[in-house]
Amino acid sequence: MSLRRLARGNQVVEFVLIVALAIVLAFAIQAFIVKPYRIPSGSMEPTLAIGQRVLVDRIGNDFFPPSVGDIVVFHPPAGAADQVCGANHYPATEVCPKPTPQEATNTNYIKRVVAGPGDTIAIRNGHVILNGKLQKEPFANFAGCGGGAPDCNYPTPFKVPAGYYFMMGDNRDMSDDSRFWGPVPRSWIIGEAFATYWPPDRIGFL
């Protein structure tokens, strides 16, 4: 075998190895560090629109608990799509107190953390009352929540259990969230959405 042919063979092997390594790194990054997600619904409008794409920090969730105000991607409880509450029966003036025990591992939701472990939450016309204080929420859309709309008013305070987080969409009248299927345990949270990269005119940090 000539030296030229041997060198060409080595180049092919090197190229294949580089491509394989790049593929492995791409999968590793998505699995453990940063993963892209597409927004499937209007529940987070006006913050995030349908079809918009965000980057989610997966590794930070292992070291730092979510904070109120964070936008997170998580697995909802089984039955969330049908608004199944774990207890199945609860007063109309109260949010769902407990999710179903099963995690919907093949489904991803994106919402905002509005209350954390030990916090007390009530909801008035879509506005969050956290630990007795009405929250300033300039990011949210409250259209449709006036006039005593039942899905926007839960006057009975609810204490979030230890290790759980209460999620709500920014589009308060059009969001399927913890009001209907309960708070989410930290182990079901995938990570925090920290930036949007598509479409180009909405690139930026969240």
Name the catalytic one among 35, 111, 175, 178.
Answer: 111
Name the catalytic one among 2, 41, 43, 159.
Answer: 43
Which tens digit of pLDDT belongs to each residue from 146-199? 888 889 999 999 999 999 999 999 999 999 999 999 999 999 999 999 999 999
Please state, in angstroms and as integers, the Cα–Cα distance from residue 123 to each residue in 91, 102, 165, 166, 197, following that order: 14, 26, 15, 12, 32
Q: Which residues of 145-177 are buried (b: 16+ CB within 10 A; e: fewer)?
A: beeeeebbbbeeebebeeebbbbbbbbbbbbbb
Contact predicate 71/38, CB 8 Å:
no
Which tens digit of pLDDT belongs to each residue from 140-161? 999 999 888 889 999 999 999 9
Catalytic residue list contains 133: no
Question: 195-201 long-range contacts, Cβ below 8 Å, gap at least 24?
Answer: 195/54, 195/55, 196/48, 196/52, 196/53, 196/54, 196/55, 197/36, 197/53, 197/54, 197/55, 198/52, 198/53, 199/51, 199/52
Q: What is the CA radius of gyration of the chain?
A: 22
Distance from the first to the final alpha carbon of the chain: 58
The pTM score is 0.85
Catalytic residue list contains 159: no
Which tens digit of pLDDT belongs to each residue from 5-43? 555 555 544 544 443 333 333 343 444 457 899 999 999
Residue 101 φ/ψ, nearest 5 degrees: -75, -20
Which tens digit of pLDDT belongs to each residue from 92-151? 789 999 999 999 999 999 999 999 999 999 999 999 999 999 999 999 999 999 888 889
Q: What order of strands is seen across the sheet that includes strand 133-134? A: 133-134, 127-130, 120-124, 154-159
Contact predicate 206/123, CB 8 Å:
no
